[in-house]
Amino acid sequence: MRHARVFLVEDETLIRLMLAEMIEELGHQIVAEAGSIESALPLAETVAFDIAILDVNIGGYYIDKVAQTIVRRGLPFIFVTGLCQGGTATRFYRQTTSAKTMFARNVATGNNLSSGP
């Protein structure tokens, strides 16, 4: 199994900690974390990572600017959301999206991040 370097953006601290712990228990490395769009943008521009895991809604705002930065770098990302179907950021509505509960379950059961979206 290839171990991924992960950039994690989630504004709910406890959820971010839980996801980070699960990802690391599978042998992947969290190389950067952010809890706001303002802190995520410079990290998205500079951090070396294999895949980003982005909450769709950060503090009431869509994560589009961060996703656009990652796309410009040619790196993959996955949206996670607690929102209902259709809650994906409008510009990226076709991007791989997972409900937070399903994503956590997949990580917990060993479905790894190495393939990306």
DSSP 32-71: EEESSHHHHHHHHHH---SEEEEESEETTEE-HHHHHHHH
User: What mean pLDDT do residues 55-70 have?
Assistant: 91
Residue 66 near residue 44 (C-beta atoms within 8 A):
yes
| Domains defined along the chain, listed by start | 5-108 (3.40.50.2300)
User: What mean pLDDT do residues 22-36 have?
Assistant: 94
pLDDT at 114: 47
- Whether the per-residue pLDDT at 115 is higher than 50: the answer is no
Given the structure tokens 């410079």, which residue do they identify? 42
From the list 63, 61, 57, 53, the residue with the least C-alpha distance to 33 is: 53
Q: To 5 degrees, how large is the angle CA 106–CA 56–CA 11?
A: 90
- Whether the per-residue pLDDT at 21 is higher than 90: the answer is yes
Measure the CA–CA gap between 114 and 83, rounded to whole angstroms: 25
Q: What is the pTM of this model?
A: 0.78
pLDDT at 3: 86
User: What mean pLDDT do residues 69-78 have?
Assistant: 93
Measure the CA–CA gap between 65 and 107, rounded to whole angstroms: 26
- Whether the per-residue pLDDT at 97 is higher than 80: the answer is no
Residues pairing with 80 in the sheet: 55, 98
pLDDT band, very low/low/confident/very high, at 83 (cuts 50, 70, 90): low
